[in-house]
Amino acid sequence: MSSVSQTGNTSSGMPTDEAMHRNIAQRRQRGRIWQGVLFASTTIGMLVLVILLATIINESFGLIAVQSTVDPATIADRPLEELSKEELIVILEDNLKRRVYQRLEREQPLAERDQAALLEIVRVEVVQEEVVGSWPLNETLFNRAAIEAEVAEEFPRAEIQFRSWINPDFLTNPMSSVPALAGVRTALLGTLWMIGITILFAFPIGVGAAIYLEEYATDTWYNRIIQTNIANLAGVPSIIYGMLGLAIFVRAFEPLTSGTLFGLTDPTTANGRTILSAGLTMGLLILPVIIIAAQESIRAVPNSLRQASYGLGATKWQTIWNHVLPGAMPGILTGTILSVSRAIGETAPLIVVGASTFIVTDPDGPFSKFTALPIQIYNWTARPQDQFRDIAAAAIIVLLIVLLTLNAIAVLLRDYIRKRRSI
Amino acid sequence: MTTNGGISPQDAKYALETRDMHVYYGSFRAVKHINLNVERQKITALIGPSGCGKSTVLRSFNRMNELVPSARVEGKVFFHGKNLYDSNVDPVEVRRRIGMVFQKPNPFPKSIYDNIAFGPRINGWQGTKADMDNLVEQSLRASVLWDEVKDKLKESGLSLSGGQQQRLCIARALAIEPEVILMDEPCSALDPISTLKIEELMFELRRQYTIVIVTHNMQQASRASDNTAFFLMDNDRAGTLVEYGPTEQLFTNPQDKRTEDYISGRFG
Ligand SMILES: Nc1ncnc2c1ncn2[C@@H]1O[C@H](COP(=O)(O)OP(=O)(O)OP(=O)(O)O)[C@@H](O)[C@H]1O
Ligand SMILES: [Mg+2]
């Protein structure tokens, strides 16, 4: 029931007085419901993220039970830690089966390893310190008594230790078939090399194409087709890019990607399956996203700036270089950050392009064989032993740290450009 | 600048002359049959109701219409006797010699100093740092902004007030030493005091430059210009030049009934 005020005009259809108040209250109510829905979405997103992180951290730290089959006192007269590199090699020669010794030698010659690495091998292979059980962080913290009871019953000679699977050795050790010895050095370097090539390839080409499409291309039917295709390419599944990379970079451009063209043939490189191929494939994968992001931010540069520049007798290129690009750069960098983050985590294209799953030599250039962090993680999670799952979790943390570091660098760069432009 | 295709200076009475000029946006004809002679070292005001094509005519003087993909100019615009729309005339040279100040202040997001130094730099400036400092100061003095900004040349051009920004844009246009300055409603965003400052500035500049100004402000046109051109939209919605003559005459003794109606505020 709306009472009509003296000034109120009922014939116009606009609610007045009480009806108006009710209407306003209703509209506010609707707004509050939406606010609740939006808050819920944010909370769900955050919750998933927290659970993800908690799971990874849970797996990466925890108790392990170590048991040695051979008493260290029977193979050396001093504690193992005090032995020199040479003494450790002698112990390995004396105690290891030929086959095992040769395998280790093949992975990386023993003489080239340092004392700490050799000590680990003696522990694992000779003393056969074996990790007979491992427990995640939550059980470690809340269920220690039960773990101790279990170990005491099943492995009376075993010793319980706290282990952080992510540790300096894990970062600096190469691959190994023994989880306790395995590290991510080769995979980490592989990822960094690959991302470097990806950025060098995709950033200039992507930004260049965006400038062309926005500033030079006229609105013709074929340019519109190109535009539509770029938008569609951004949605193509990554494995397709892997197949494309396999066909183009690994096969067709093999002389280039394997380095034979530059006389750099390395007999161990598996033909075109090099870091270069992987980096270029990833570059193709993120190219459409970079182009679209760059186009958006170029479009967002106000036209009045372009006019001001042209009005002073600037050429098209001077206008683009001095005003359009600097204005668009923060947005272009944001798009690049997002797409590079995606490339770091991609696994499927790398498998198709032929990343190695087991190599111990560091990649030393674009023409090396390589492995990358996601491949390593994928590989480890597929193994049956519990400890591989623990190091997979640790490798995920390394991957996340790499991601965060790269993002932080890009954000700092972006803010630096923003600040420089506002003076 | 005296290549075959270039425009060579001449001591003619008129800086700009249009001959039967039409401007189209796509298939829409925005202005038609424009014949307008702009006198050298005088202030010419373009007046008329909104949408009648004043900005369009102004932009055709330095080929800024070309930035609109659909725009097309027919007819001729002579600058020192040379048709600006000849195929061998470079629009970059045209804009280098015919500067422009826009309706909305549009300083670059750079320091005040760099805003002014940009024009000379991109046009092949050869002088020293001291020369540039000097040029910046001269330009800012000419646009009556120097005293307000001399202590903060390194601060952003965007940190200035609207009126100061507009004077910065004028200083920026002066720094490349053009022969003609086109101004599209330079005072529309300004308070009366800034407006007066800019008008004084225009009188000052008239000694050296030819100025064409679009304005909606009748007082401004009558007190600050030598010649006035009055535009009106025709029945086919294309703008035409109704009357053109010395400002004094046009305002006191208009020849056309429509001009009289407009300046006395009866329509438009
Ligand atoms: N970029 C453009 N694309 C299409 N049509 C345009 C464009 N710019 C102007 N026009 C049209 O041309 C006609 C003249 O416009 P113009 O901007 O020259 O008018 P004006 O006299 O400057 O008006 P105002 O006083 O409001 O600034 C108008 O009908 C306008 O719709
Ligand atoms: Mg206008």
Q: Give residue limits of the domains in chain B.
A: 14-263
Nearest residue by C-alpha to atom 27 in ligand 1: B50
Query: Scanning the structure block, which residue is given the tokens 């997103």?
Result: A45
Indicate whether A169 pLDDT > 50: yes
Higher local confidence (pLDDT), B3 or A121: A121
Q: Whose CA is nearest to atom 25 of ligand 1?
A: B50
Q: Which ligand is nearest to the CA of B66?
A: 1
In eight-state DSSP terms, residue B174 is: H
* Residues of B in Cβ contact (< 8 Å) with A307: 64, 67, 100, 102, 106
Phi-psi region of A402 (alpha: psi -120 to 50; beta: other; left: phi over 0): alpha
Q: What type of residue is A177?
A: S
Output the average pLDDT for chain A. 85
Ligand 1 contacts CB of residue B55 (under 6 A):
yes
Residues 6+ away with beta carbon under 8 Å from B153? B111, B112, B113, B136
Average pLDDT (B138-142) is 91
* Share above pLDDT 90 across residues of chain A, in percent, rounded to a whole number: 34
Q: Given an 8 Å threshold on Cβ–Cβ distance, is A421 in contact with B69?
A: no
A315 touches chain B (CB under 8 A): yes
Percent of chain A at pLDDT > 70 equals: 95
Given pLDDT bands bounded at 50, 70 and 90, which one contains residue A3?
very low
Contact yes or no for B42/B15 (Cβ under 8 A): no
pTM: 0.81
Residue A342 has pLDDT above 90, yes or no: no
Instruction: Name the residue at shortest CA distance from atom 5 of ligand 1.
Output: B25
pLDDT at B98: 94
In the predicted model, is pLDDT for residue A253 greater than 80? yes
Nearest to B21 by CA among B42, B38, B5: B38
Q: Which residues contact A255 (CB under 8 A, 6 or more apart)?
A: A261
- Cβ–ligand 1 distance for B68 under 6 Å, the answer yes
Give the Cα separation of B165 and B198 in Å (integer).
Answer: 12
User: Which one-letter DSSP state was computed for residue A84?
Assistant: -
- Interface list for chain B against chain A, based on CB atoms closer than 8 Å: 62, 64, 67, 69, 92-93, 95-97, 99-100, 102, 104, 106-111, 118-119, 122-123, 154-156, 158, 169, 172-173, 176
Pairing status of strand B98-101 against strand B37-39? unpaired
Instruction: Give the number of whichever ligand sits closest to the CA of residue B29.
Output: 1
CB pairs under 8 A between A and B: 72
The better pLDDT of the pair A79, A269 is held by A79
Contact B156 A314 (CB under 8 A): no
Express each pLDDT in B225-251 by its tens digit: 999 999 999 888 899 999 999 999 999
Please tell me if the CB atom of residue B30 comes closer than 6 angstroms to any atom of ligand 1: yes
B102–A421 C-beta distance less than 8 A: no
Tell me the domain boundaries of chain A.
62-165, 186-422
Which atom of ligand 1 is found nearest the CA of B59? Answer: 18
A420 in reach of chain B (CB within 8 A): no
Q: B35 alpha carbon to ligand 2 midpoint, in Å? A: 19
* Geometric angle at alpha carbon B89, from B85 and B179, rounded to 5°: 90
Closest approach of A369 to chain B, Cα-based (Å): 47
For ligand 2, an ion, list residues with CB under 5 A: B 55
**Inter-residue contact A257 to A266 (CB < 8 Å):** no
Phi, psi of A389 (to 5 degrees): -65, -35
Question: Do the beta carbons of residue A193 and residue A370 sit within 8 Å?
Answer: yes
Nearest CA in chain A to B176: A312
User: Can you give the pLDDT at residue B3?
Assistant: 39
> Is residue A8 predicted with pLDDT exceeding 70?
no
Contacts of residue A315, defined as CB under 8 A and 6 or more positions apart, other chains included, come to B92, B122
Of A306, A313, A322, the CB nearest to B96: A313
Looking at residue B103, its pLDDT comes to: 87
* Tokens (6 digits) for A11: 């014939």
Of B34, B56, B67, the one to substitute when testing ligand 1's pocket (max ligand atoms within 8 A of C-beta) is B56
Chain A, window 202-231: residues with a beta carbon less than 8 angstroms from a chain B beta carbon: 218-219
Q: Is residue B50 within 6 Å of ligand 1 at its C-beta?
A: yes
pLDDT mean over A64-84: 79
Q: Given an 8 Å threshold on Cβ–Cβ distance, is B111 in contact with A423?
A: yes
Cβ proximity of A202 and A287 under 8 Å: yes
Which of B47, B52, B187 has most ligand 1 atoms within 8 Å of CB, for mutation?
B52
Q: Please tell me the distance from the alpha carbon of residue A205 to that of residue B109, in angstroms, as a whole number.
A: 27
Ligand 1 atom with least separation from CA of B23 = 12
Q: Which residue has the higher pLDDT, B201 or B23?
A: B23
Whether A422 sits inside 8 A of B176 (CB atoms) is no
The shortest C-alpha distance from B204 to chain A (Å) reads 21
CB-CB under 8 Å, B169 with A308: yes
From CA B262, how far away is CA B252, in angstroms rounded? Answer: 13
Number of Cβ within 10 Å of residue B71's Cβ equals: 18
Confidence of residue A104 (pLDDT cuts 50, 70, 90): confident
Residue in B with minimal Cα distance to A323? B108
Q: What is the dihedral of CA A293, A420, B189, B193, to 10 degrees?
A: 180
Distance CA A142, CA A282 (A): 44
Q: Which ligand sits closest to the CA of B102?
A: 2
pLDDT for res A261: 72
Run of H or E including A305: helix A303-311
**Which residue would you say has higher pLDDT here, A111 or B129?**
B129
Kindly report the CATH number that applies to the domain delimited by A186-422: 1.10.3720.10
Contact B106 A308 (CB under 8 A): yes
Interface test with B, best of A218, A312, A321, A323 (most B CBs within 10 A): A312
CATH fold for the domain made of B14-263: Rossmann fold (3.40.50)
Average pLDDT over residues B184-197: 83
Token pair recorded at residue A74: 């029977």
Residue A30 sits at the chain B interface (C-beta within 8 Å): no
A contact test, residue of B64, B95, B139 with most A CBs within 10 A? B95
Eight-state DSSP code of residue A322: I
- Cβ distance of A423 and B154 shorter than 8 Å: yes
**What is the predicted ipTM?**
0.90
For ligand 1, say whether the CB of B53 is within 6 Å of any of its atoms: yes
Distance from CA of A307 to the nearest CA of B (A): 8
Residue A39 token pair: 């808050």
Q: Which of A268-272, A295-299, A313-317, A368-372 has the lowest mean pLDDT?
A: A268-272
Contact A311 B109 (CB under 8 A): no
pLDDT in tens, B209-225: 999 999 988 888 888 89
In 3D space, the residue among A340, A342, A406, A346 whose CA is nearest the CA of residue A375 turns out to be A346
How many A from CA of B30 to the centre of ligand 1? 7
